[in-house]
Structure 1
Amino acid sequence: MKRYLTILICFLSVAAFAQVNKTDPQGRKQGKWEKVYPGTRVYMYRGEFKNDKPVGTFVYFYKSGKSKAVIEHGANGRSEGYFYHETGGVMSYGIYKDFKKDSIWVNWDKIGRLSSKESYKNDSLHGIKVVYYLPTEQGDKSQRPMSVEYYENGKLHGDFKEYFENGKTKTTGSYKNGKKHGVWESYHVDGGKMSLERYKDGIRHGWCIAYTKSGKEEGRKYYYYGRWLQGKELKKKMSEMKRLGINPNE
Structure 2
Amino acid sequence: MRNRFLFFFFFFVCGITMVNAQQFNLFDAEGKRHGKWQKKYPNSDQLRYEGTFDHGKEIGEFKFYKPSSGKSPTAIKVFSKNTDTVNVKYFTEKGKVISEGNMIGKERVGVWTYYHNGSTKIMMTEEYSLGKLHGEQKTYFENGQLTEKTTYQEGKKEGKRFMYSDKGTVIKEFTYENDQLHGITKYYDAQGKVKIEGNYKRDRKDGIWKYYENGKLKEQKRFPVSKRGS
Give the alignment's TM-score, normalised by structure 1. Answer: 0.75
Q: Is the 8 A contact 2:176 2:182 kept in 1?
A: yes
Question: SS of 1:205's equivalent?
Answer: strand
Q: Distance in 1 between matches of 2:220 and 2:160?
A: 26
Q: Distance in 1 between matches of 2:218 and 2:91?
A: 50
Q: Distance in 2 between matches of 1:215 and 1:133?
A: 31
Matches within 5 A, 1:1-250: 13=17, 16-23=20-27, 28-62=32-66, 63-74=69-80, 75-98=82-105, 100-109=107-116, 110-135=118-143, 143-223=144-224, 228-231=225-228, 233=230
Question: SS of 1:165's equivalent?
Answer: coil
Q: Is the 8 A contact 1:211 1:219 kept in 2?
A: no
Change beyond 3 A, Cα 1:207–1:24: farther
Q: Distance in 2 between matches of 1:7 and 1:171?
A: 75
Question: SS of 1:171's equivalent?
Answer: strand
Question: SS of 2:119's equivalent?
Answer: coil
| Deviation of 1:26 (Å) | 6.0
Q: Give the aligned residue type for 2:48.
A: M
Change beyond 3 A, Cα 1:232–1:213: farther
Q: Distance in 2 between matches of 1:197 and 1:34?
A: 60
Q: Distance in 2 between matches of 1:80 and 1:105?
A: 10
Question: Alignment length, in residue pairs?
Answer: 222
Q: Is the 8 A contact 2:208 2:220 kept in 1?
A: no
Cα offsets for 1:146-168 (capped at 9, x unmatched) = 00011112222221111111111
Stretches of structure 2 lacking an aligned partner (at least 5 in a row): none
| Deviation of 1:11 (Å) | 6.2
| Deviation of 1:190 (Å) | 2.1
| Deviation of 1:76 (Å) | 1.8
